């Protein structure tokens, strides 16, 4: 569904992505892990042309999104929901207004229907009680959940999650993991999740990929990933106290 073809991305004088190729299948939860600053967010941004590759092509279905423009780009982007790392809510709108924004601006739904959908999305992320508050008045974790509500309110086919659970308490983090699984299973949402949280990655991912040095050093199903011989992966797992044994015991 999303295919990277020999993507090179040069930023600030170095190749952040260096000949990266992979494919994400429809209906899959694809998890990308990796140390800070390796280009996970940059990878996600290529999927919706917030960045353009220095060379190579990003395909969405049969269309190249990295070269799309105008109407075609708008239509392709319309298939995506995007949760930004910092939430990216508009400061002068309340949480509810932020979530309603894409519906108000881009659809012809009436007010009542919009209100209903907004409530539904906010209840999914357990934030209905804060609907009338402004982003500056709520915590970082709540902002992130509000950003998530906005990403899914249009019911997109594909949702890109940039660190959906970082900065959340463990209980809320698991709730968000379950929400991602629910959207995937029950609504068939193809999901790309960037995270540092290995526990979550191995639980929800259908495939997990490790980004290092501009490429995936490992792409595998969770069980195989946890058993990987690749030194970067082992280091990453050990740092979060996940060993082969305790992963399989679960």
Partner 1 sequence: MITREPFEYPDSAGYFQRLYLATQEGLAEVGRAVLLGVRALRELPDLRRPKARAEFLRQLYICGIESLPVITVVALFTGMILAFQTGIELRRYNQEVYIGSAVMVSMLREMAPFITGLILGACVGSAMAAQLGTMKVNDEIAALEIMSINPVRFLVTPRLAAMMVMTPILSFYTCMLGSLGGAVIGMTQLNVPWEQYMSAGLEFARPKDLFVGLFKALVYGIIITTVSCNEGLTTTQGAVGVGEATRRAVIISFLLVLVVGYFVTRFFY
Ligand X SMILES: Nc1ncnc2c1ncn2[C@@H]1O[C@H](COP(=O)(O)OP(=O)(O)OP(=O)(O)O)[C@@H](O)[C@H]1O
Q: Which does 222 bind (CB under 5 to 8 A by kind): partner 1, Mg ion, ligand X, none?
A: none
In the list 40, 117, 144, 150, the residue contacting ligand X (rule: CB under 6 A) is: 40
Whether 198 and 41 have beta carbons less than 8 Å apart is answered as no
Shortest gap between Cβ of 156 and partner 1 (angstroms)?
Answer: 10
Q: At 151, is the secondary structure helix, strand, or coil?
A: helix
Q: Which two tokens stand for residue 250?
A: 């679960």
Q: How many distinct helices (H) and strands (E) make up the chain?
A: 10, 10
119-158 binders of partner 1 (CB under 8 A): 147, 150, 154
Whether 160 and 192 have beta carbons less than 8 Å apart is answered as yes
Q: Are strands 190-194 and 207-212 parallel, antiparallel or unpaired?
A: unpaired
List Cα–Cα distances, 227 to 57, 96, 209, 238, in angstroms. 32, 44, 13, 12
25-84 binders of partner 1 (CB under 8 A): 45, 48, 50-51, 74, 77-78, 80-82, 84
Site string for ligand X, 60-89 (x = CB under 6 A): -------------------------x----
Residues that bind Mg ion (CB under 5 A): 41, 85
Q: Which does 102 bind (CB under 5 to 8 A by kind): Mg ion, ligand X, partner 1, none?
A: partner 1
* Residue 117 or 212 having the CB closest to ligand X: 212
Torsional class of 226: left (φ above 0), alpha (ψ -120 to 50), beta (otherwise): alpha
Binding site for ligand X (CB under 6 A): 11-12, 16, 34, 36-42, 85
């Amino acid at each position: 569904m999303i295919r990277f073809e020999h993507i090179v991305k040069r930023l600030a004088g170095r190749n952040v992505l260096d000949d990266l190729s992979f494919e994400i299948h429809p209906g899959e939860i694809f998890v990308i892990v990796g140390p800070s600053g390796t280009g996970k967010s940059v990878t996600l941004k290529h999927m919706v042309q917030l960045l353009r590759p220095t060379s190579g092509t990003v395909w969405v279905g049969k269309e190249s999104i990295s070269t799309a423009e105008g109407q075609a780009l708008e239509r392709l982007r319309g298939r995506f929901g995007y949760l930004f790392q910092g939430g990216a809510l508009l400061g002068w709108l309340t949480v509810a207004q932020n979530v309603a924004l894409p519906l108000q601006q881009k659809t012809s739904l009436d007010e009542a229907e919009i209100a209903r959908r907004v409530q539904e999305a906010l209840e999914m992320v357990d934030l209905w009680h804060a609907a009338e508050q402004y982003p500056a008045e709520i915590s970082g974790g709540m902002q992130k959940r509000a950003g998530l509500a906005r990403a899914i309110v249009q019911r997109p086919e594909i949702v890109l999650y940039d660190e959906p659970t970082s900065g959340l308490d463990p209980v809320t983090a698991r709730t968000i993991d379950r929400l991602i699984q629910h959207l995937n299973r029950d609504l068939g949402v193809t999901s790309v999740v960037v995270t540092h949280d290995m526990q979550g990655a191995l639980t929800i991912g259908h495939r997990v990929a490790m980004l290092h040095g501009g490429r995936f050093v490992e792409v595998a199903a969770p069980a195989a990933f946890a058993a990987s011989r690749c030194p970067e992966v082992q280091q990453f797992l050990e740092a979060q106290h996940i060993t082969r044994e305790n992963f399989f015991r679960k």
